[in-house]
Amino acid sequence: MLGFILSGIKPLHMLCVGLLAAFLVFAFLILLDVNCDYIALGRALFGSCILGFSISSMLISRERSLFLNNQLAEINEQILRIEASELLHLSQQDALTQISNRRTFDEMFDFFYYRANQEKRPLAVLFIDIDFFKNYNDFYGHQMGDKVISSIAAAIKNSIRHVDFVARYGGEEFVVLLPETPAQGAYSVAANIYKAIERQAIPHAASLVSKYVTISLGFTVYTGGLKMGQDRLIHAADQALYRAKQLGRNQIYYQPLQVAEIA
């Protein structure tokens, strides 16, 4: 009966085969007129069938339980991995715009800055601000203001390469990193962003420079290998944005790095 158990035959099939075999043994012994204790033999044969059926049912039930437990454990592990991945993604993403947040920018800026220095290649840093956004919020409401921020973020994202990086820096301000991009290339990207937002033609009745939503964009370009800290590079790009706003907003301003800033 153990051979049947180990062979993988289903318990019910095994029981039927065992009972049939026991019946054939009885028939054969009766046919040969063998003198034996048929009651004891019957108990032994039929008992072994029932015992084998019970044991195999228990083994299969146990294996099935182990299999289901292993499957559940794998499913739970997959769910945990997915949830962990989603949580990581959410922690790196700005909830409103679905682009990277300030925390992720800080991490990515470290990477881009390090790579620019290692490869002695340029790194352009662009700061973008929505003109008179407070006026827009006051005039149209915060809900419409959120829609504008999302629209501007989408326009910026669609205007850069997949190797570039964009993040919401805070409020209505965005930052873009363009690796291996000199000043002329950075200006072309800035112009594309400016035109993309201009094409959106979002009405802005409270603006002092246009009847539509506009941006001020300032940028600078760092050449890897120069002795300039990351904070000073960010400050230089931010100053370029400040200069664009100071000159009347709704424009692009390029601020070359000064010797005094690099030293």
**222 against 70, higher pLDDT:** 222
Whole-angstrom distance, CA of residue 153 vs CA of residue 10: 63
Q: 3-state DSSP call for residue 251?
A: coil
Q: Is the pLDDT of residue 252 over 50?
A: yes
Q: Element (H or E) spanning 128, and its range? A: strand 122-130
55-78 pLDDT, tens digit per residue, is: 666 766 677 777 767 776 676 666
How much is the mean pLDDT over the chain?
83
Q: Is pLDDT at 12 greater than 80 in this prediction?
A: no
Please, are residues 24 and 45 in contact by the beta-carbon 8 Å criterion?
A: no
pTM above 0.75, yes or no: no
Per-residue confidence (pLDDT) for residue 14, from 0 to 100: 59
Q: Quick: pLDDT tens for 175-187.
A: 999 999 999 999 9
- pLDDT at residue 263 tops 50: no
Q: What is the pLDDT of residues 74-109, one digit of tens each?
A: 766 665 565 544 544 556 899 999 999 999 999 999
Tell me which of 14-23, 146-155, 199-208, 252-261 is least confident.
14-23
What is the maximum span of the chain, computed from C-alpha positions, in angstroms? 120
260 pLDDT above the threshold of 50: no
The better pLDDT of the pair 86, 247 is held by 247
Catalytic residues: 172
Taking the C-alpha atoms of residue 234 and residue 244, their distance in angstroms, rounded to an integer, is: 16
d(CA 215, CA 137): 15
